[in-house]
Structures are given as structure tokens and as C-alpha cells.
């Protein structure tokens, strides 16, 4: 099969740390010509990365991948700036579509929130009359309703209309969670157009030997969270869990690795509740270093806020933790619980359930060491059977090959 040219549309791309970076690198290795239409890096801190600014509209290279950056407003630290961030990418994308002379065979849209970023990809595909694929890892307008509390019917109705337009104008919709198929059914999308394609973890996510870092062997039970520290993560319950652990005289340390809009608020809550000695806040690290932090930890923490939408989500960190052979402690509802139960790789409680998480930590504290080893091996085995990178990328090759362009 002759390899084709792919235009990837993603508001986030290298040096921002998203899995689309690895997907594009893999396509380049497989002989595809890859061009990425993206914004100016500013996630998750909300300010432009060093060396970038609003007028950093230039072409870059990431290995063999061509990067086209569109001007956009940084996310900032409040809702108004976030909205401006979302829509500035769309506006810039509309003008780019008008004047671009790029030739591509496919458009592949990497849809983490916001779904608005899909619009430039849809418009370009329609203009060029080429297939448009959408990879859906989030649901709108549900995500907006849960994250912002917006209930205005006019706003929600127009967001819903936009989502219907995007779905209708995509040739295939790949879902990172089986539960997302329900959205397609609700919109009357042909079942054959919807395909489950879960996320995988990059090859560097694997079990490694411990190395010296900010997680020290201090005799405490090490629980490690790594990722974006935002409202959706539900980390606000941890200070209360820490108070229960203190009353029960449990030697536990929460290692919180990362950055995000909720980090300062979480740190303040930890200080106000006088449980700072239970927490070890570590600055954001390159993804390649995370396995070494897991190696110094007893379990990996996966936590989400309570919400109907979040029950359907499988965060990318699930695959990352499993690939590293980590026992998993989850405070999340829905599909995550099903995966952990099926894999027999840890314990889970309902999202937002302080006592449930506390009780599961106590269970783990009383477990023998060999049981942790067994759970870690179960996690790795499940990952290899269900989320293997080569298997999934081979499947995508078949989808690209089914359309004559």
C-alpha cells in the first residue's frame, strides 16, 4: 500500500505533552508524510512556552513531521481566557483554510477538549474533498456543562448543533471509550462509522529500575499521581483523605507530579487542613521520566471528579500506569472501574468517595508484597492484550487503506 499524506489537526502538540506526538512519530516511521496544524504551546500552565509568543506563526519540524502553528490566545487562569483560547484557534484555522495550498490525502483530528478545534479540520477536508477522521477522547457539550456549570439552553443548543455538524462531516469517528458510542447513537450516526480505538502508551512507559528522584524511600506508602492538575481530576478530596489517614496513624505520602489550573488551590487546601506532611508536590516532568517516579512508588493513583461524562472516559494515564506494571488505586466511576476489575490490577472506589478511597488505601497497607507484584504483572498483561501500540497502529493503517484517494 502506498503511504499517503496526513494532515493532523490538534490544538495541542509538541512540546506540549499529548499522545498525538507519538502517534504522528509512528506514522512518520511507517512512511506517511505528516503535517500537524496546531497552536502556540501554552498547556497546562496557561502561558506561552519560553521562546514562543502570539506571533510565533512559523513552520517547525518535529523529527520528520512538519508543524504549522496558528496564532491563538494563551489559556490564562480564568474561564474568559480559556474561551478566548478555544475560539482563537478556530478563527485562525478558518483563515488558514482559506489560503492554505497544502495537499493532503486525509485529515485526522485529535479531539481532546475542546471539540471546537475540529472545525478547521472539517472545513479543510470539505474544501479539498478528502476523507476526514475524528479521534474522540472527550464529549461535548457534556464536557462544558460539567466543567463550567453552564446551563444556558441557548449556549448548550448551539454547542450541540456544532457537534452534530462535526460528526456529520467526518467519514469515521474513532472513540477512545466504548461508552462514547452512545453519543453517536443519540445523533443518529451510522454504527459502521463509529469505531472503538483505545489509547496506547508510548514505548518508554514500561517497568524500570528505581532511580534517585524526588520520591524517596522514607518508609512511607508511596501513592503517585502524574498528570494535569485540573478541576476534572477530582484531587480536592485528597486533603480530607489525608486527615482520615492521620487519625488512623497511617504512614502514607501522596506524590503529586504535574501542573495545572487547580494546583495552587490544591496546595492551599493542603496547607489550610494542616496535612502538608502527607503531600509531596513535584513540578511537571517530561513524560519519559514518569516511569522512574512510578518505580519509586507503591501504587499509581488515578482519580477523577464525579460526573456523568467522566464515568465514560478512559484517561490516557490508565494505559501509562498499566504499561509500567503499576498496581492501581482508583477514585473514579464507570469504565475505569470495569478495566481495573477485569484486569485484577488494583482497587477502585466511586469518584468523590472520601471514605471509599481511605478504606482502599488501608487495604493496600495491609497487603503482602507479593500481591502488589501480582497486580503489577496483571496490569502489564492486560495492557499488552488490549492496548498494544503495534496492534492499534496496524488497525489504523487498515482504515487509511480502505479509502481510495
| Measured distance CA(222)–CA(321) in Å, rounded | 15
Domain ranges of the chain: 5-200+388-401, 221-386
pLDDT at 160: 86
The mean pLDDT value for 326-336 works out to 94
Length of the chain: 405
SS3 sequence of the chain = CCCCEEEEECCCCCCCCCCHHHHHHHHHHCCCEEEEEECCCCCCCCCCCCCCCCCCCCEEEECCEEEEECCCCCCCCCHHHHHHHHHHHHHHHHHHHHHCCCCCCEEEEEECCCHHHHHHHHHHHHHHCCCEEEEECCCCCHHHHHHHCCCCHHHHHHHHHHHHHHHHCCCEEEECCHHHHHHHHHCCCCHHHEEECCCCCCCCCCCCCCCCCCCCCCCCEEEEEECCCCHHHCHHHHHHHHHHHHHCCCCEEEEEECCCCCHHHHHHHHHHCCCHHHEEEECCCCHHHHHHHHHCCCEEEEECCCCCCCCCCCCHHHHHHHHCCCCEEEECCCHHHHHHHHHCCEEEECCCCHHHHHHHHHHHHCCCHHHHHHHHHHHHHHHHHHCCHHHHHHHHHHHHHCCCC
- Give pTM, 2 decimals: 0.80
Q: Is the pLDDT of residue 223 over 90?
A: yes
Asked if 360 and 396 count as a contact pair (C-beta separation under 8 A), the reply is no
**Fold match, 5-200+388-401 / 221-386:** yes
- The pLDDT tens digits for 353-374 are 999 999 999 999 999 989 999 9
What class, spelled out in words, does domain 5-200+388-401 have in CATH? alpha beta
Question: Mean pLDDT over residues 99-108, rounded?
Answer: 95
Tell me the β-bridge partners of 38: 69
More confident residue, 149 or 348: 348
405 band by pLDDT with thresholds 50, 70 and 90:
very low
Return the CATH number of the domain spanning residue range 221-386.
3.40.50.2000
Instruction: Encode pLDDT of 265-301 as tens digits.
Output: 999 999 999 999 999 999 999 999 999 999 999 999 9
Amino acid at each position: 500500500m502506498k503511504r499517503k499524506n496526513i494532515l493532523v489537526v490538534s490544538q495541542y502538540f509538541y512540546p506540549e505533552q499529548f499522545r498525538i506526538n507519538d502517534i504522528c512519530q509512528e506514522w512518520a516511521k511507517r512512511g506517511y508524510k505528516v503535517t500537524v496544524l496546531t497552536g502556540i504551546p501554552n498547556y497546562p500552565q496557561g502561558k506561552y512556552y519560553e521562546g514562543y509568543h502570539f506571533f510565533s506563526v512559523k513552520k517547525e519540524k518535529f523529527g520528520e513531521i512538519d508543524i504549522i502553528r496558528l496564532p491563538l490566545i494563551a489559556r490564562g487562569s480564568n474561564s474568559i481566557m480559556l474561551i478566548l483560547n478555544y475560539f482563537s484557534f478556530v478563527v485562525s484555522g478558518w483563515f488558514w483554510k482559506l489560503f492554505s495550498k497544502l495537499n493532503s490525502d486525509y485529515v485526522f483530528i485529535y479531539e481532546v477538549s475542546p471539540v471546537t478545534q475540529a472545525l478547521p479540520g472539517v472545513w479543510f477536508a470539505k474544501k479539498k474533498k478528502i476523507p476526514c477522521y475524528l479521534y474522540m477522547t472527550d464529549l461535548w457539550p457534556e464536557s462544558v456543562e460539567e466543567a463550567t456549570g453552564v446551563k444556558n439552553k441557548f449556549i448548550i443548543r448551539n454547542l450541540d448543533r456544532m457537534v452534530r455538524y462535526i460528526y456529520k462531516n467526518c467519514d469515521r469517528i474513532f472513540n477512545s471509550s466504548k461508552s462514547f458510542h452512545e453519543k453517536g447513537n443519540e445523533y443518529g450516526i451510522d454504527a459502521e462509522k463509529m469505531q472503538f480505538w483505545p489509547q496506547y502508551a508510548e514505548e518508554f512507559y514500561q517497568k524500570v529500575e528505581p532511580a534517585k528522584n524526588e520520591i524517596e524511600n522514607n518508609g512511607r506508602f508511596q501513592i503517585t499521581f502524574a498528570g494535569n492538575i485540573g478541576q476534572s481530576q477530582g484531587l480536592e478530596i485528597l486533603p480530607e483523605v489525608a486527615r482520615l489517614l492521620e487519625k488512623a496513624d497511617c504512614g502514607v505520602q501522596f506524590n503529586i507530579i504535574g501542573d495545572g489550573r487547580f494546583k495552587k488551590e490544591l496546595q492551599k487546601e493542603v496547607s489550610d487542613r494542616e496535612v502538608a506532611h502527607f503531600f509531596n508536590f513535584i513540578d511537571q516532568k517530561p513524560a519519559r521520566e514518569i516511569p522512574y517516579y512510578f518505580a519509586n512508588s507503591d501504587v499509581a493513583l488515578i482519580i477523577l471528579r464525579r460526573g456523568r461524562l467522566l464515568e465514560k472516559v478512559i484517561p490516557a494515564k490508565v494505559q501509562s500506569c498499566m504499561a509500567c506494571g503499576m498496581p492501581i488505586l482508583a477514585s473514579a466511576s464507570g469504565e475505569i472501574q470495569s478495566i481495573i476489575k477485569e484486569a485484577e490490577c488494583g482497587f477502585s472506589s466511586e469518584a468523590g468517595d472520601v471514605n471509599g478511597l481511605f478504606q482502599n488505601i488501608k487495604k493496600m497497607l495491609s497487603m503482602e508484597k507479593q500481591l502488589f507484584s501480582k497486580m503489577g504483572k496483571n496490569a502489564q498483561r492486560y495492557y499488552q492484550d488490549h492496548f498494544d501500540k503495534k496492534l492499534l497502529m496496524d488497525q489504523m493503517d487498515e482504515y487509511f487503506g480502505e479509502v481510495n484517494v
